[in-house]
Structure 1
Amino acid sequence: MGNPEIAEQDADTAPAPSSVVLAFEDREFTLAEIDALAHGVSGVLERSGVGAGDRVALMSSNRPEFVVAVRAIWQLGAAVVLVSPAWKRDEVAHALDVTKPVFAIGDSPVLADLMPMLHLDDHVAPGSGTRRAVDPDAEAVLVFSSGTTGLPKAVRHTHGSFAAAVEHWKVALDLTAADRMQIVTPPSHILGLLNIATALDCGAWIRLHRRFDLDAMLHHIQADRITVEMAVAPIALAIASHPELESYDLSSLRYIMWGATPVTPSVAERVTERTGVGWMPAYGASELPVIACNPIEGARLDSVGKPVPGVEVRITSLGTGEPVGAGEVGEIQTRSASLMTGYLPEDATADAFVDGWYRTGDVGYLDADNWLRITDRLKEMIKVKGFQVAPAEIEAVLHGHPDVADCAVFGEPDPTSGETVVAAVLTANPVTAEALTEYVGERLATYKRLGRVVFVPEIPRLPSGKVLRRELKERHGRTSDE
């Protein structure tokens, strides 16, 4: 799915047109078949009035037609607006209002009800043609930010910036035509799209799954001899707690990539102990898809790795905004050719940059050897008696408790200390709030002590694995008046 006009493929890694590059259930597709289908769809789009520079909304479940649709849109020099298939009518309406697409493709009745849409189940005859040259400065993809505060913003990438991200990911993963991977996360998220684009660009083989199913994922690692597996926090937790994990042959895996959230060491180590497969933590954002990655040999669980070649990272003081030295904690800022051009609405863009550097909103530090560590999200830090408390640090401790299946930490107003720490806990076995409070208190400073524990039936997360703390606060938090 990469753009050959922008990021040239090496002759020895580019997939042959006759090679099978995509599998879905019992169907297989060669690159030539995908491109022929894409040419057919692009013809329909063109006859519907779509041209270079236009935007096309795509709201699709996990299926091969998603790949075809993206390539068809790009063949016209248009941009694809990725809309989550999980969204409801108001969320989709907001996305359309922000991005103003001229046409739509998908399999969602919600989208079809809001604007003209080519349904992915409609028969479109394969076509033929040559790939058009694409302006690297033209928009390629708009993907929505996590939206943990306020309404989601559309992140705008050009053909040039996305192609740069593909090259960075290819190098970081050491991905070649010999690799085999599977996609179980939604392709409407930047990581899903990036994985598909990078794999097809270098000739790797992909299995696309309709939805995440742990047993199906493990089965296909064994049956398809998958070499590169991707995981976000919920998937990692599911693997670690699978009662029959040892019954699967996972020896083909080179590594499992952990992304979207900092690694929970106790979870990762449990998987490695049970399977012998190691992890490769990585770090990126919708705004800059590949920021840092661990080396494949010598990966460490306490760091997201080192900045990938082509990406600059600096740490700035939370107080003054000035760059700080090695080992000092501050906001992580980045710049690269793979950086977004900005947001929609456009008025959100200014606050995202300072002197050309993208403000990630993540807090962390670079050590003397350039290893990057993330301590928390800037906006999610809890301020207790003047101390900054990182929810991720407390969550990592709670994940080590044998009776905790999942957890998330947030702050709520407190008249004495400013804020107090609240832990939302999903239990694997019965356990008391007092026991968990004591467990954390034995391992962390007094000001990080749990002020309250609330037991919940689930931890709300985005498909990327990020915790929806705002939703947790709305459900289980208390106000300063209570």
Structure 2
Amino acid sequence: MTLQQIHVDPDLTFPVFLRAITEQYGDRTALVFGDESWTYRRLYEEVTKFEAALIGLGAGKGTRVALLMGGRPEWVVACFATMSIGAVCIPLSTYEPAVKRHQLLRHADASILILQDRLLRHAYLDDLVEAFPGLAGSEPFYEPRLPYLRHVVHVGDGAVGGQVIGWDDLLARAPGLSSEYLRALEDEIHPTDDSLVIYTSGTSGPSKGVIHTHRSVRVQFDRLPDMFSLRPDDVIWGTYPLFWSAGVAWVLGSAIASGATLVMQEWFDPAEAVRLIEKRRITVIHVTPPQLTQIEEVLDENPADLSSLRIFPRAALASHTDLPPDRPFGGASLGLTEALTLAAAIPWDSPVELRTSTHGRPLPGMRFKIVDPETGEELPPNTFGEIVFKGTGLMRGYHKVFPEDYLDAEGFYHTNDGGYLDEDGYLHWTGRMSAIIRTNAANVSPGEVESALYENPDVRITSVIGVPDAAVGEAIVAVVVPRDGASLTEDGVKAYLKDRLASYKIPRQIFFVEESDLQMTATSKPVLSHVKALVDARLSGSKVG
């Protein structure tokens, strides 16, 4: 796809994409969930049925449809059907407490909510009806706290009534619409129409609704398979939740666009993950470093056949697989929700040196600059500054936020990420500007140090921060949870890092802790504020070093 095609192709809409994929891969397996397998043709048929069901509820172009489910086929059907009729799909986090979920539901202006009754300890339907009892009543639902919400569709065996209807009941009462009518709806969707709103995690402030158009969804879905070196015979599994851009685009979108099979898991369980990899002969996995550690711990106790794997994170599963070091793996990229994952990247089968020393190049249709964070002036190659970009992959905007609040006068989005472009145009990302550790007049990314620590097979969990130091500005401190049975020492870990990091990036001090000493996020990452408090307590009354 040329840059000109990216800009003006009228077929860059989701329904055109789904029809083309179905025609190409119709009889191949698209989704696996439990013991059930869906072909691409069945997926398309289920999406078409749900399009009619949504239209029967009054949905049309621009209608906002919120989803609150785990990783299951109904999520895929609901999302794809919503976008295919020109409505806007809004995935909500299943991790959030009820009050936050309801706040997001109001902020999103959702008029239809499709939710799962229960997932793990969460009772989504009970929480909703308890907070808004009018939903169960016989009268139309007009609630000041959720002024746009009219209908709730639930998946499961929970109670129904009032404005709450079961998934199967909704399909049963859907109007019988002709294929010509549905095609006419789809044909009126333009690439610039909104299709998806992804809410950020809110780790650096309140959650923001990131609006993406059909064009940005199509462009990303189309190019991710080539970036990831995917094939139609791949069997893919990932832990990223579908309400993340990494879940909906990186995992789901790339799998569907490549004609591969996606094995779905409602929630992450390491033992079940190992069972799925072996049973389903999975070839590609997308998983976070802490989750990989949990998988490796399961494998240490109960070895499994992982010979089907061909793509997985670098430095992972080294003792459980036998693949060459130049195998495909990711990492050379800059991804963010505002770009629906990748804004800069190189293919996962590029030369290893480029994949390990850069973060790729700006993708077609994207223009990058490095600017002085204080003056906004563009900086020359190999000069550290803030990464800014604009282009066809950039979000249309933040929901209910003025564009002047996040774009500069030239339309560039300021990422708050630090880095530089080298003389060959490769991006070098160094971390969040707000998280950068300033030590001895040098900038150090905590993420870079954490990545090097995670390459040590005896490191289970780690977090890196900077602490004030009179001599160097900030001293680097790492908190490490060793793997069970490992005998790590501070000197040993520092020696390990000498071959992987410049000397000034090696932590001045390393604290070994138990996992129970840390507070963890829902995605198995240490809560940074708690890490800082723990380090402060350990350092109380003593100097670092």
- Structure 1 and Structure 2 fold alike (TM over 0.5): yes
More displaced 10-residue stretch of structure 1: 291-300 or 49-58: 291-300
Residue of structure 1 equivalent to 2:508: 450
TM-fit CA distance, 1:34 = 2.5
1:175-221: per-residue Cα shift (whole Å, max 9, x none)?
34333322332111111111213322342222112222334434444
Q: Which amino acid aligns with 1:15?
A: Y
Q: Is the 8 A contact 2:278 2:304 kept in 1?
A: yes
The alignment status of 1:308 with 2:358, answered yes or no, reads no
Q: Using the TM superposition, give the Cα deviation of residue 225 of structure 1 relative to its aligned residue in structure 2, in angstroms.
A: 3.5
> 1:217-366 counterparts in 2 under 5 A?
217-239=273-295, 243-244=299-300, 247-256=303-312, 258=313, 267-268=315-316, 270=318, 275-276=323-324, 278-281=328-331, 282-288=333-339, 289-291=341-343, 292-299=345-352, 300-347=355-402, 350-353=405-408, 355-366=410-421
Moved more, 99-108 or 408-417: 408-417
d(CA) in 2 for partners of 1:369, 1:465: 36
Q: Tell me what 1:411 maps to.
A: 466
Deviates more, 1:84-93 or 1:353-362: 353-362
Which stretch of the first structure deviates more once superposed, 137-146 or 112-121? 112-121
Aligned with residue 113 of structure 2, among 87, 101, 104 = 104
Give the drift of 1:250: 3.7
Provide structure 2 residue ranges, at least 5 long, that are not aligned to the other structure. 1-11, 117-123, 133-148, 157-165
- Shift of residue 408, structure 1, vs aligned partner: 0.6
Which residue identity does 1:235 align to in structure 2? Q
- Alpha carbons of 1:29 and 1:5: their partners in 2 closer, same or farther (altered >3 Å)? closer
Out of 144, 155, 163, the residue aligned to residue 120 of structure 1 is 155
Of 142-151 and 465-474, the range deviating more from structure 2: 465-474
- Residue equivalent to 2:96: 87
The Cα of 1:65 is off from its aligned counterpart by 0.6
Q: Quick check: 2:21–2:256 contact (8 Å CA) kept in 1?
A: no
Q: Does 2:76 align with 1:67?
A: yes
Provide the rounded CA distance (Å) in 2 between the counterparts of 1:272 and 1:13: 38
* Pair 1:21-2:57 in alignment: no
2:192 maps to 137
Contact 1:13 1:176 in 2 (8 A): no
Q: 2:232 aligns with which of 166, 172, 177?
A: 177
The TM-score with structure 2 as length reference comes to 0.74
Moved more, 336-345 or 326-335: 326-335
CA apart distance, 1:88: 0.5
Cα gap change, 1:153 to 1:412, in 2 (>3 Å): farther
Q: C-alpha deviations, 1:113-136, integer Å up to 9, x for none?
A: 556420023314377643432222
CA separation of 1:192 and 1:401: change in aligned 2, threshold 3 A: closer
- Change beyond 3 A, Cα 1:185–1:83: same
SS at match of 1:290: strand
- With over 3 angstroms needed to count, the CA separation of the structure-2 counterparts of 1:70 and 1:412, relative to structure 1, is same
One-letter amino acid of the counterpart of residue 149, structure 1? S
Deviating more after overlay: 391-400 vs 101-110: 391-400
- Percent identical across equivalent pairs? 24
Corresponding residue number in structure 2 for 1:214: 270
Q: How many residues align?
A: 472
Q: Within 5 Å, which residues of 2 pair with 1:466-481?
A: 468-473=527-532, 477=536
Do the aligned residues in 1 keep the contact of 2:21 with 2:257 (CA within 8 Å)?
no
Aligned 8 A contact 1:283 1:293 in 2 = no
CA distance in structure 2 between the partners assigned to 1:11 and 1:73 by the alignment: 17
Alpha-carbon contact 1:255-1:296 (below 8 Å) kept: no
Q: Distance in 1 between matches of 2:103 and 2:317?
A: 41
CA distance 1:308–1:447, change in 2 (3 Å) = closer
Cα distance change of structure 1 residues 39 and 329 upon mapping to structure 2, 3 Å threshold: same
- The question of 1:425 aligning with 2:480 is answered yes
Output the CA distance in 2 between the equivalents of 1:152 and 1:11.
33
Shift in Å, 1:244: 4.1
- AA at the equivalent of 1:27: E
Structure 1 residue runs without a partner (length 5+): 259-264
The residue type paired with residue 261 of structure 2 is: W
Q: Quote how far apart the aligned CAs of 1:160 are.
A: 1.7
Would the alpha carbon gap of residues 229 and 175 (structure 1) be closer, same or farther in structure 2, given more than 3 Å must change? same
Distance 1:393 1:203 in 2: 34
**TM-score of the superposed pair, with normalisation by structure 1:** 0.83
Name the structure 2 match of 1:157.
212
Q: CA deviation at 1:308?
A: 3.1
What RMSD over aligned residues (CA atoms) do the two structures have, in Å? 3.7
